[in-house]
Structures are given as C-alpha cells and as structure tokens.
C-alpha cells in the first residue's frame, strides 16, 4: 500500500560541467607521479583556468560566504568553484601553511579515485598523493589461478585462448605464469562504455559496408556472366552468393558489442608479484597493446604506478595481486564521483592554488565500495574490506559520500565495525547526510543515522551560487540546499551534525575527457568537511596534541557558525557551518583534557522498549497532548586501551544541565558524572505549544570549564499535528508566500480510515517559472520512512493535482519548498494554496491470501470519512517459485583482504540453486530474510550470480535484486553470504530463495456476493457506493485453474495487487491496474497440488500375442541382454574391453538384428578414445552393418503403400517399418559425419570437396580413401529423410561448406544455433567466417564466445 523511501548509492546531484572538455595528457601504458615544482610563478601552458594569487579577505564577502555587497572578481569567482572561505579553511591555511593536511591520511570510501586526475599526483610537500587504490568490491577481480609454462618460443596460451609472447627480459624464477582474462566493459562505467560502443560501432559499420559491397559485386558479376541459371549447381552457387549478401546485411540488426577482452598474466619476479596485460583487442593498430610491450605493474601500494588501457578510452587503472597470485584485481572507478570527492578533500594544484582541495597536503587511500557490476552501488563486502584497509593503512579520517534509507538507525553489521574503527583505532568518520530533503527524518545511513559518524548537510553560499552555479542573482545569505536531508533520526538523534559547502568544481577521471566538473550534493559537503577535519588533525599532530575522533568532533561541533536564527534550523543545518580556524583554537585549548565521548541512551519512563533512543521525538498527536517523562542515561566513553588508574578512576565532572525551553522541557540543574555514567529524568510538556515544528535541547556544560560548550546534547523534537475536524475531511493552507529556498512545513494527523489523499496546489503572483519540492513523510514502527515526493515546475500561475497514499491515525508532514535557485532575479513572491482531501476505504484484510482451495475469501469494507466508490480490482502478475539449495559450501576467505582488524577471519557460505525456464521470461531472485537491507542488516553481505549451463552470466545482484531477461533453459544461481560467525552461516545452509517471474498475461480475479460464486459463476460483484460508517462485504474468488500460468509447481505463490477505492480520474491514471492505485495492497495465491493423472492405473489394452511362450521368453531375454549392453560404462580401457566382448558375443548370437546393431553403433559414438582415425572407421563399419541388416527394397515398398489405418495389423507393421527407417537414417547420418572426420584426419578434405564438384578448400596430404563415399552416403540419406531438417543440419552444413558454398553453410549453421545453441555450432560459424575472409565478424564472434562459453564462473 505504501511506498517507502528507497534512495541508494552516492549522494550527488550532477550539474552540467562548468569547464570545457580537456584531456589530460596521461595516455602512456605506464605513468609514475613525479615530484611537483614548488613555485606558482611558472606560466601554465595547458591548464583551462589560469593561475591566480591566493585570494585575500574581501570586504564584499563575510565569514560564511554571504554577500553584503554583491560582486565577484576573478579571484573570488575561482575561489567559489572550490569553496573554502565559507568554512575558514582558506584563512587557516594562509595562517598555518604547513598545517594544510600534511601528515594526515584520508580514506575515500567511494566509487574509486583516478590517480591520474588533475591535482591528485602529489601533496603540497611533494609526497605521493595517493598511497593506495583498492577495489574493495571485487568487481575487478580476475581469476588467475590457472598456471601455464612458456614453450620453447617463449609463448603461452592466455586464458582467452590467445597465444601470448612473453618478454624475455621479465624475471620469473619459477617459470610459472598465472593467466586470466577480463572483458573490459566489465571494468568501465556505463557512460564510458556507451562512448566506446559508439566509436567501435562506427568502425565496425565501415568494415561491414565494405564487405557487403564486395559480396554484392560478386553477385552482380555472376548474374552478368550467367543470364540463365538452369543447371542445378549454378542455382546453388547463385543462392550461395545471395545468402552471403543476406547474412552480411542482417549483421547490424543483431550487433551487440560486448567489448574487447584483456588477457592478464601474473608472475613472481623473485621479489614481488608482477602484472602484464595484453590489450591488442582495444587497439586499431595490430602492433599496439601486445603483452610483451607492456611495462609490468605490481600492487599499487608498492610502486604507486598505474596505466591506461588505450588512447580511445583514456581510462586509468591500477593493479593489485592477492592470494599468492591467484587473484588479480584490476581497479578502475565505477563513476567520476569518487575522484571528485577526493579532489574536494585533498587536490593540490601548484599553479592553480585557488582550485586546491581543502587539505592539499593530505594523502589519500582510495577504497572503492561502489561495485561496477551494480552500476556503482555499494556492497557489504566493499564496506567491510574498506574498513579493514583503513586500519591497515593507519588512516586518520574517512570520508564516505554514499548511503541510503534504513529501517533501524545506528544498527547493523557495518555500524558495529565502524564503532570499532572509531573507538579502538581512533579514526574520524565523516559522511554525507543524504539528498532526500527537505522533509524531516529523511536522513540516509550510515552518515545521518550512526552515532560514531559525523553526518554532514549541504550548504550553499551566495558566492557559490554566483560563481559555481552561475546564477544571475545570488541569494542574500547562505542556506542549506533544498534537497539536503533533514533530521531528526527516527530515534530522535539530530542526524545532521554539521554543514559544509555542498558543491564544487573538482577533478574528475581522465576518461571523462575533461579535468574538472561541477557536482553538488551532500556527497560534496562531506569531503569539504572531511578536508577541514584533515586540517585540524594536521595541526594537532604538528603541535603534539593527542588526536581523537571524540575531541576533533567536539571541536568541530562546538565552533560552528549557526545557519538560520530559529531553533528548528538545527534539524536542517546541524550545529551550523564548520569553522576550521576556530575548531583548531578549541582543540588547542582542550589539549590537556581527556578524550571522551558521551553516549546518550533514552527511554520513556514506565515503558519498556526493545532498544534505547538517542533523542526525544514526539511526532504523533497522542504524545503532543500530554506530558511525558524520560530517563536519560549518560555514559562517558573512553577509547579502548585507556588506563584504568590514570584515565577512568579519576574521571569526575560536575555538569550543569540546561534546557533551551524550560517551559516545555525540564531537567535537573546539575549532574555529577563518573566513569560508570549517570541517569537523570527529563519532563516534556508540549500541551501548550502551537501546531507545527518545535525544537529544544537539554545540554550539559562543564561547571569548571564552561568555555568547552555543550559536552552532550539531548535533542527534543516536537511536531504537533493539526487535527482535521471537518467531514468530509478537507484541509486547506492558503496565502503561503515563497521566495527562493523558502520552506513551509505543515503537520497533520491523518484521520483514521484514510488511505489516500487527493491534493491540489494552486500558484499565483509570480512572473518567472518556479520549481517546487512537495514531499510528505510518515513514520511507522519497523518501517523505513513512508515518503511521497513530487518535483513540480510551474511555468505560470496554475493548478496541479496529486494523489498519494497515507496511513491513517499517524502524523504526516507536508513540506512545500521553492527550490533554492528557482525564481532568483525576480522580486515577485509565489503565492501558494494547497488543499488536501482525505479519502479511504477501511478493509478487514490488509493482505489477502488465497490458500489454493476453491473457497473465496470474504472482505469487509467500510468508509469512515466520506462517501466512496467501492470498486475492487485484483490482478496476479507475478509468480514466485521457492527453491532450496542443492549444494552449500562453507569456506574461509583469503587473509589478504578478508581478515578483520580484530584478527577474526571472515567466512563465506556459497549456496547453489538450480531452476529451469520452459520459456523466455523476466526473473528476479527474492530472499525475504536478507533483501533490501545493507546497513540495517546483521549479515555482512550477500551477492548472487545467475548463469546458464555454459557458465554464461546473465545477472548479478545483491540486496536489491532486479529483473533480468533470460531465455528458456537450465540455470544455476549461486548466492554468496559472508560473516565471521560460523553459527550464523550454518543456520542458512537451507535458506529458501524465490525465483520471481513476471507473467506474460496478468490473471484477473473476480468478485462475488455469494460464497458459491466461484463455482456456480453467479452473484458477481463489481461496484457500489459506501456511505460514511456503513459496511459492505463481498468475496474474492481464486483464479480459474485454466488461467493459471504453466510451470506453476506446487508451493509456488502468485503475487499481485488489490485495490478497493476509486480516486478521482483527475488525479489518477489507475485505469484497470490496481498497482497504480495510491491505496493498493498485496494479494497472493498459493498454488495447490496438481491434479492426479487421470490415466494412471487404467488397464491398457493390447493385442493378444500369437507368439508362443518360448518365443516371447526368447525375445525378452534378447532385449534384456541389449539393455545390459546399453547400460555398460565405457570410461576406462577395461570397461570398453568388457563392452566390446559383450557386443561381439551378442552379434554372434543375434546376427543381423537391427536394434542390436544400432545399439552397438550408439555405444561406439559415445566412446572417447585417442586413436580417432581407427575409432571413426569402426563407426563407419558399424553404420554399414545397421544399413545392411535392413531390407531397403522391402522398406521402400511398404512405406509407399497407403494402407488402411483402421486395420490393426497394418498399423503395427507400419510402426515397425518406421522404426526400421529411423534406425537406417540415424546410421547413414552417423556414417556421413564419421566419413568427414576420417577425411579431415587423413588430410583428404580437398579430395572430398573435389568429389562434390566444388572448389578445393583444403590441400590433400596423406593416404587416399574412397572419397566418393560421403556423397554416396548423403544421397542415400536424401532418399529416406529431409536433409534440410534441423536433425541433419550438421551434415548439410558440412556438405555445403566443402562444396564451397559458405553463404549457404552459414545460413544452415545459424538455423542450427537457433534450434540448439551448442558451442560446436558457434565454432563452426567462426570457422566459416574465417574461410569467408570476414575478419571483422570473426573478431566479433570470438569475443562473444567468451561471453557465451566462459571457461569458468567469475569470482564473487
């Protein structure tokens, strides 16, 4: 019924790039960062932006970037592109140039950082900027466990099948070369892949057009030479030429570029693992990209070298080697996002200092958490490995500009690991709050919901608006971006703790073909704050001040410049805009104080809760109409390892408790706090408050050092809703005046019984288009926030209508916001009137379950609010089939990447499921226990792969599975689960998984007024009107059995939606689809057992046998012996000898018995022997024996007779004769195939082709045989079967091929592939294309072979 908030991934809102495209000159195979020139006076020849002197303080711009007198000069314009003045970072670095981040290592949890991007080569003091680049997701992993040796010529066979030449200068004491391969598109972003596909398609089209022109020319020349084509061979030749033209013309329609393949080679040179790549398939020049020309790389952190795949892609990559050379990680970024974030934090431009990042002296460890397989979505594996890397590299601060909604704040496996990293290893963690504002409680996890992470909101200053965003007129003062997420969290914590500039023109990867790009989002505010933290830590280290995430955070929060003047502005902006210079002054003053964080746990007095709260959040009407008492527990939290005697025992603080609104929130005056913590009570009385939003704080001040500011805060948020008293329930907000960035919040208690709202928004009074965000949010227990949103643009004064679902009885926030940059330059405010009409039909069952029986389900409906049309609609449009694993494997992962800082080894459980599709379908795996939760999940991660019987991957996914189109066939799904706790994984070895499939046609359900309606077909129900307070009941019947989709096994669940009400047609496009109704519910049907086989158990009638008992016994014995022969294994020499002995014995006992001879032929065909020539000769002889055992004249004569089908003797004889014909046809077919193999092995294909009166395609070499046997056999086969049918396509293709009719052979082999896509058929097609000389199609098909028939499944 409701839609929960579902944003996932990086928090960025991209805007068009400010700068013109510029290609960084890093195009070599190997690039090494060099030390910078420490001067800013050198003329910059290639930069887009000219070097400018550092900007001094301007009287036009105050400390937080507000323009008092609007004017930008060139320096302030450039500074606005990388905002630092707003946070005091520029002042701080100017005053302390050596505290610019030096000595600080920043971990960037993101989509990956390009070490070749502008400003990311070196730090301000000449050190390497990027210390390590790690793909924590595994999306770039290459299986290099296959080990090969070089031959005498120094060549090895690559994993792709290509022959690779080793550079003789490479040291490899063991002589062992690990090989693997990767399709390059799997490493690149969708944007880059799209560009490469366009370029490659253009070149491919040119080659294909040239080939078509040549084929057409040959056809025209033939037609000129042969004006009349009467002879059979000439007809075949012309048809072949036409087939070639047709084949080539069809290729563009089926063209699907899967990308070039990279062969990878890994070896140990005696000191380190080395890596080389063969990238010839990326290059147009065949002399480029060869393996031997590659300058070997090693794991990035060792030498900090990187490469570029080719000039066309301009994509930087690095390599890392794991697991003793058995895993190669090729690391690329999954979007420009991570490089942009790293640039904001730490970029250093010696010739463009105004464009430096916030902390140009800091170093970076890039931890890629955005999985390229999932379009840059983060995974649990990536997050965990990133935290492991932070500890390994001794990072000081983490930035993470990723996140999504969560059901449980401050909960989950990742949160547990973060707490350990922050509390034990003293790492500061900074993260984006989210881009889902402006409604309250729209924070994303982990940044806005985790206590140990500093959540950052996004701020825009007038200078940023005028410069980076290039607005005609900037806002008069700084403000939070409209889309920036707001607090509080569902458990009452502030969520947004600080704000920082949320937009910048920063470096992007070289593959974007430009140096910098404008992006905005909390993804940008977080690294801005993170850079500020790096400055503070740099200064603290330099001055010998102990660094702690507790003290750094306190310094940051308690020195912010407030944004806005109202108390509730804190829910949007946190404590304000960070001020780096003031934060460091605070840290200096607090240098001798113990490093402590104050953990707050809150519970309502007299009420038992499952988990403690972190704030007081009174949202529902019942809490706002009474006084409540709360117990607050304050626990001082020291870092792990602190001394009991020196730190914990002496700790004692006298704290004065203050309330920002004593009339509403009352607390004790003082508190004596020791190491073991202390609790106190808070009383909240909101009864006298007006409707709307109110925010208060209870905070503690150190009596002995009040300058420290609040040591801890208890946020108190009250959203007192307006009660809708009219009937029908209607509420209107009139005369709402809006300027750019203005936000209006209204809180309404949704009437009980309401399930949807029909709203209308009217605008007036403005002269330029206006853009509004309209959001509603409701909070419900154990659910993600229920959010509806619309982005409405009013070109002129008008009215727009909306419809959305609601939950009755709960407070709904309605927020209307004029976008911060909408309407700038206009002095006319927009006047808004917003009307909401509540509707609803209350039903007895929120979810309808049809149990599989013939009985209907009774539904009772009533309207509590107003007259409503009761028009139920129900459809089933999906089926979920349950599966249990056919195999489970528990293993310990490699210690290289998967060993936790605590020393515990991460374990993996791999579950294997098998399923079959009878027809092509869209499917999606569903794991109810684990899906839709990344951060609020106790399991570390999950990942699945769906592959066919050839190991081709059709789909991959994690917690958010998506539909994938699969052709009919057999499939394997492997599910990979990770955790350190073996007992958790053991419990999941029989985990139930559903394969959800979209139905080709939805199943419509019927409604009845009688319980017998589904059987009798009477008493149908369709439409009525519900008056307020009245009730009506009806029945919903199960689907008609004939309408059930095929392949619906017992235990399956048909899933769909049911709706009851009928919203106004003005606001709803529901039509006949219940899922489009704003108030719809889930309906399911359990598939019952299938009906019993009606024919089972019936006595079959058969003709009375005329044979004697002894004759029947003899036949039974004979057939039993043949069955024993058929079941004998032939895997070893001894087994084959036993089989041969029995076959010879049976032939002697039953000479010329055709079924026996056919079984012997079948047994020979199934054998795998080394002497192929002799083996095929045996097959030919066996086939001849089958043919000789059949009286073909008698057979032909009988089959030509049209007998009486009513005559029983004739019918029986016909079956026998048809069986005999089938055995003859099979024998001739097998003989033909064997003859070709013999000719090929003995080098007589040329003679065979000559015998077919065709062009010689292979030169003879070897002993002569009777090459006319093939044509003789084929012609004999034509007498008994249609050789153009799919069964004999292989033989026909071979005949056409060796007749030189390659176009016709291609046509035949394509038909074979359509019927049965065997690997051998694709190989035959490639061979035919090679013979045709169509090299561009050969290359294309060979690359596709690695997609269709990979040697193994990829790594998780």
2 is catalytic: no
Nearest partner of 404 among 366, 452, 369, judged by Cα: 369
Residue pair 877/1002 in contact (Cβ under 8 Å)? The answer is yes
Dig out the tokens for 614 from the structure: 């972190």
Residue pair 494/570 in contact (Cβ under 8 Å)? The answer is yes
Dig out the tokens for 1348 from the structure: 């269709």
Helix (H) or strand (E) segment spanning residue 367: strand 363-368
337 is catalytic: yes
1174 is catalytic: no
SS3 call for 475: coil
Q: How far apart are CA 833 and CA 794, in angstroms?
A: 13
Tell me the sheet residues that pair with 736.
832
SS3 call for 1196: helix
Nearest partner of 797 among 829, 763, 759, judged by Cα: 763
Burial of 459 (0-12, 13-18, 19+ CB in 10 A): buried
Q: Where are the alpha helices (DSSP H) in 1017-1171?
A: 1109-1127, 1133-1149, 1154-1165
Helix (H) or strand (E) segment spanning residue 723: strand 722-723
Dig out the tokens for 1025 from the structure: 């009107």
Instruction: Report the length, in residues, of the chain.
Output: 1356
Tell me the sheet residues that pair with 703.
none
Q: Which residues contact 959 (CB under 8 A, 6 or more apart)?
A: 380, 930, 931, 932, 933, 934, 937, 942
Q: Which residues contact 153 (CB under 8 A, 6 or more apart)?
A: 165
Residue pair 878/996 in contact (Cβ under 8 Å)? The answer is yes
Tell me the sheet residues that pair with 1025.
869
CB atoms within 10 A of CB 164: 23
Which phi and psi (to 5°) does residue 309 adopt? Answer: -60, -50
Residue of 90, 110, 775, 842 marked active site: 110
Q: How far apart are CA 987 and CA 1152, in angstroms?
A: 61
Residue of 26, 337, 575, 742 marked active site: 337
Q: Which residues contact 876 (CB under 8 A, 6 or more apart)?
A: 999, 1002, 1003, 1005, 1039, 1054, 1055, 1056, 1083, 1085
Dig out the tokens for 1180 from the structure: 């030919």
Tell me the sheet residues that pair with 1080.
1059
CB atoms within 10 A of CB 211: 21
Tell me the sheet residues that pair with 147.
178
Instruction: Look up residue 1076 and give its DSSP letter.
Output: G
Residue of 523, 822, 1048, 1289 marked active site: 523
Backbone angle region of 932, left / alpha / beta, with phi > 0 → left and psi within -120 to 50 → alpha? left
Q: Which residues contact 619 (CB under 8 A, 6 or more apart)?
A: 717, 719, 779, 811
Q: How far apart are CA 1186 and CA 1177, in angstroms?
A: 14
Q: How far apart are CA 241 and CA 230, in angstroms?
A: 16
Q: How far apart are CA 331 and CA 306, in angstroms?
A: 10
CB atoms within 10 A of CB 223: 12
Q: How far apart are CA 153 and CA 518, in angstroms?
A: 53
Q: Is the peptide bond before 279 cis (omega within 30 degrees of 0)?
A: no
Sign of the alpha-carbon torsion through 412, 418, 422, 423: positive
Widest CA span in the chain: 120
Dig out the tokens for 1174 from the structure: 């002799």
Q: Is the peptide bond before 60 cis (omega within 30 degrees of 0)?
A: no
Residues recognised as catalytic: 110, 337, 523
């Amino acid at each position: 019924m409701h839609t929960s908030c579902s944003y996932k991934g990086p928090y960025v809102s991209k805007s068009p790039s400010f700068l013109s495209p510029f290609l960084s000159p890093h195009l070599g195979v190997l690039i090494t960062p060099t030390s910078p020139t420490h001067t800013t006076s050198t003329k910059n020849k290639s930069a887009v932006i000219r070097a400018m002197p550092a900007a001094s303080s301007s009287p036009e711009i105050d400390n937080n970037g507000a323009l008092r007198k609007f004017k930008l000069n060139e320096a302030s314009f450039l500074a606005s592109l990388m905002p630092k003045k707003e946070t005091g970072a520029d002042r701080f670095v100017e005053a302390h140039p050596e505290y610019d981040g030096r000595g600080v290592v920043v971990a960037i949890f993101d989509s990956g950082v390009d070490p070749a991007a502008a400003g990311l080569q070196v730090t301000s003091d000449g050190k390497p900027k990027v210390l390590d680049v790690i793909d924590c997701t595994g999306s770039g992993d290459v299986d290099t466990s296959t080990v090969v040796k070089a031959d005498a010529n120094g060549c090895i066979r690559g994993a792709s099948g290509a022959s690779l030449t080793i550079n003789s200068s490479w040291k490899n004491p063991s002589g062992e070369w690990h090989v693997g391969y990767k399709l390059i598109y799997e490493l690149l972003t969708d944007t880059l892949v799209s560009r490469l596909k366009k370029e490659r398609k253009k070149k491919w089209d040119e080659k294909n057009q040239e080939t078509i022109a040549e084929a057409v020319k040959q056809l025209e020349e033939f037609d000129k030479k042969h004006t009349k084509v009467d002879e059979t061979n000439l007809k075949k030749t012309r048809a072949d030429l036409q087939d070639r033209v047709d084949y080539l013309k069809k290729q563009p329609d089926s063209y699907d570029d899967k990308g070039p393949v990279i062969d990878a080679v890994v070896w140990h040179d005696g000191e380190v693992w080395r890596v080389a790549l063969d990238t010839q398939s990326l290059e147009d020049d065949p002399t480029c990209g060869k393996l031997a020309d590659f300058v070997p790389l090693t794991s990035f952190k060792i030498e900090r070298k990187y490469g570029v795949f080719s000039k066309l892609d301009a994509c930087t990559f690095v390599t890392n080697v794991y697991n003793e050379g058995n895993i190669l990680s090729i690391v690329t970024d999954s979007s420009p996002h991570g490089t942009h974030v790293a640039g904001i934090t730490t970029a250093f431009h010696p010739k463009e200092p105004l464009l430096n990042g916030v902390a140009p002296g800091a170093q970076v460890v890039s931890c890629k958490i955005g999985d390229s397989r999932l379009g840059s979505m983060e995974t649990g594996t990536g997050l965990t490995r990133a935290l492991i890397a932070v500890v390994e590299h001794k990072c000081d601060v983490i930035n993470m500009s990723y996140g999504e909604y969560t059901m449980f704040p401050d909960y989950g496996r990742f949160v547990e690991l973060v707490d350990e990293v922050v509390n034990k290893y003293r790492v500061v963690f900074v993260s984006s709050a989210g881009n889902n504002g402006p409604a309250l409680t729209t924070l994303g996890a982990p940044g806005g919901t985790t206590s140990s992470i500093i959540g950052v909101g996004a701020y825009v200053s007038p200078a940023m608006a005028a410069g980076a965003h290039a607005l005609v007129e900037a806002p008069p003062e700084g403000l939070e971006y409209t889309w920036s997420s707001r607090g509080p969290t569902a458990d009452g914590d502030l969520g947004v703790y600080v704000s920082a500039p949320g937009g910048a023109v920063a470096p992007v990867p070289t593959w974007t073909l430009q140096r910098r790009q404008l992006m905005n989002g909390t993804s940008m505010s977080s690294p801005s704050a993170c850079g500020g933290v790096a400055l503070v830590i740099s200064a603290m280290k330099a001055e010998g001040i102990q660094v702690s995430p507790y003290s750094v955070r306190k310094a940051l929060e308690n020195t912010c410049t407030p944004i806005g003047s109202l108390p509730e502005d804190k829910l949007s902006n946190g404590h304000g805009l960070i001020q780096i210079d003031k934060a460091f002054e605070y840290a200096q003053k607090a240098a001798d104080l113990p490093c402590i964080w104050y953990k707050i746990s809150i519970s309502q007095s007299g009420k038992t809760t499952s988990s403690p709260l972190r704030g007081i959040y009174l949202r529902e009407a019942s809490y706002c109409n009474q006084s409540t008492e709360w117990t607050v527990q304050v626990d001082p939290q020291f870092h792990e390892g602190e001394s009991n005697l020196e730190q914990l025992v002496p700790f004692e603080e006298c704290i004065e408790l203050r309330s920002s609104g004593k009339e509403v929130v009352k607390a004790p005056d003082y508190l004596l706090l020791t190491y073991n913590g202390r609790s106190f009570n808070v009383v909240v009385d909101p009864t006298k408050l007006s409707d709307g939003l109110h925010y208060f704080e209870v905070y503690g001040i150190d009596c002995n050092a009040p300058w420290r500011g609040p040591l801890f805060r208890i946020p108190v948020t009250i959203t007192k809703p307006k009660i809708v008293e009219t009937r029908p329930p209607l509420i209107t907000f009139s005369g709402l005046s809006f300027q750019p960035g203005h936000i209006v919040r209204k809180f309404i208690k949704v009437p009980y019984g309401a399930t949807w709202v029909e709203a209308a928004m009217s605008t007036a009074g403005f002269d330029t288009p206006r853009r509004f965000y309209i959001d509603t949010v409701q909070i419900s227990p154990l659910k993600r926030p229920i959010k509806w949103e619309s982005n409405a643009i009013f070109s002129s004064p008008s009215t727009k209508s909306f419809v959305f679902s609601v939950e009755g009885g709960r407070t709904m926030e309605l927020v209307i916001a004029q976008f911060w940059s909408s309407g700038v330059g206009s002095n006319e405010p927009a006047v808004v009137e917003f009307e909401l009409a509540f509707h609803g039909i209350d039903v007895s069952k929120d979810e309808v379950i049809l149990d599989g029986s013939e009985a209907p389900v009774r539904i009772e409906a009533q309207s509590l609010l107003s007259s409503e049309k009761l028009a139920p609609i129900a459809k089933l449009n999906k089926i979920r089939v349950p599966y249990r694993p056919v195999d489970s494997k528990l293993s310990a992962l490699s210690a290289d990447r998967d060993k936790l800082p605590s020393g515990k080894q991460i374990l993996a459980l791999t579950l294997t499921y098998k399923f079959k599709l009878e027809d092509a379908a869209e499917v999606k795996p569903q794991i109810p226990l684990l899906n839709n939760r990344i951060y609020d999940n106790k399991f570390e991660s999950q990942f699945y792969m769906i592959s066919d019987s050839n190991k081709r991957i059709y789909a991959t996914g994690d917690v958010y599975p998506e539909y994938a189109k699969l052709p009919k066939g057999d499939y394997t799904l492997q599910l990979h689960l990770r955790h350190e706790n073996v007992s958790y994984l053991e419990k999941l070895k029989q985990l139930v998984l559903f394969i959800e499939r979209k139905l080709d046609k939805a199943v419509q359900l019927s409604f009845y007024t009688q319980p017998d309606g589904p059987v009798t077909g009477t008493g149908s129900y369709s439409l009525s009107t519900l008056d307020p307070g009245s009730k009506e009941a009806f029945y919903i019947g199960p689907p008609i059995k004939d309408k059930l989709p095929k392949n619906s096994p017992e235990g399956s669940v048909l899933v769909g939606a049911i709706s009851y009400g009928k919203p106004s047609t003005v606001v709803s496009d529901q039509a006949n689809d219940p899922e489009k109704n704003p108030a719809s519910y889930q309906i399911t049907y359990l598939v019952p057992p299938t009906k019993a086989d009606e024919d089972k158990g019936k006595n079959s009638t058969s003709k009375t046998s005329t044979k004697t008992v002894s004759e029947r016994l003899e036949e039974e014995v004979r057939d039993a012996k043949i069955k024993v022969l058929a079941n004998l294994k032939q895997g070893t020499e001894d087994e084959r000898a036993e089989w041969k002995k029995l076959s010879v014995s049976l032939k002697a006992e039953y000479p010329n018995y055709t079924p026996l001879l056919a079984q012997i032929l079948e047994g020979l065909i199934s054998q795998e022997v080394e002497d192929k020539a002799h083996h095929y000769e045996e097959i030919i002889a066996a086939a001849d024996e089958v043919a000789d055992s059949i009286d073909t004249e008698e057979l032909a004569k009988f089959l030509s007779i049209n007998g009486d089908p009513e005559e029983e003797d004739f019918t029986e004889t016909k079956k026998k004769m048809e069986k005999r014909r089938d055995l003859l046809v099979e024998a001739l077919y097998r003989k033909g195939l064997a003859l070709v193999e013999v000719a090929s092995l003995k080098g007589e294909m040329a003679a065979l082709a000559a015998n077919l009166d065709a062009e010689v395609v292979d030169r003879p070499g070897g002993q002569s045989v009777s090459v006319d046997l093939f044509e003789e056999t084929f012609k004999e086969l034509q007498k008994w079967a249609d050789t153009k049918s799919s069964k004999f396509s292989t033989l026909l293709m071979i005949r056409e091929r060796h007749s030189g009719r390659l176009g016709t052979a291609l046509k035949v082999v394509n038909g074979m592939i359509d019927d049965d896509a065997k690997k051998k058929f694709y190989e035959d097609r490639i061979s035919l294309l090679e013979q045709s000389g169509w090299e561009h199609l050969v290359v294309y098909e060979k690359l596709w072979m690695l997609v269709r028939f990979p040697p193994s499944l990829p790594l998780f």
